[in-house]
Amino acid sequence: MRREDGYSLIELVVTIIFIGVVFPGLIGFFTYVMDDSVRSEAISQAIALAQQQMEEIIADKNEITRGLSYVKSPGQYGTIVVGLHTCSVSVNDTLIGNVAAVQVMITITNPLLNEDFNLRQLFTEYTAY
């Protein structure tokens, strides 16, 4: 008897079926991982943009020549577009108990995010004695 090297027809059919079943699942998994990675990066960029904008507003509030009245000026902070991110700022007067305050809300929108990202900060004006 002669020994033949190679694969039998059954081994080839089993291998083809195995690849046909496993490969679509792997492609779906890698697609999900890539989408999740892109979404995570968009969230990180939204957080960084919102923090940067809030730091500028805090600096304006703490600036001696500007202060809280500068922050409350209508239209003071316009819409900023960075890549796919759109950053908008809203400033509203509010009351906390009997204390007048200003609520600053920064909203970041991006088509890659499922929902808007919001960052809120309350400011009060007080004088240290």
42, 112 Cβ separation under 8 angstroms:
yes
96, 122 Cβ separation under 8 angstroms:
yes
Distance CA 103, CA 72 (A): 9
pLDDT per residue as tens digits for the range 6-57 = 778 888 899 999 988 888 888 888 888 888 888 899 999 999 999 999 999 9
Tell the burial category of 87 from Cβ atoms under 10 Å away from its Cβ (0-12, 13-18, 19+): buried
In the chain, domain spans = 9-123
Question: Can you give the pLDDT at residue 101?
Answer: 86
SS3 content of the chain, % helix, strand, coil (to 5): 45, 25, 30
Q: What is the pTM of this model?
A: 0.71
Is residue 79 pLDDT above 80, yes or no? yes
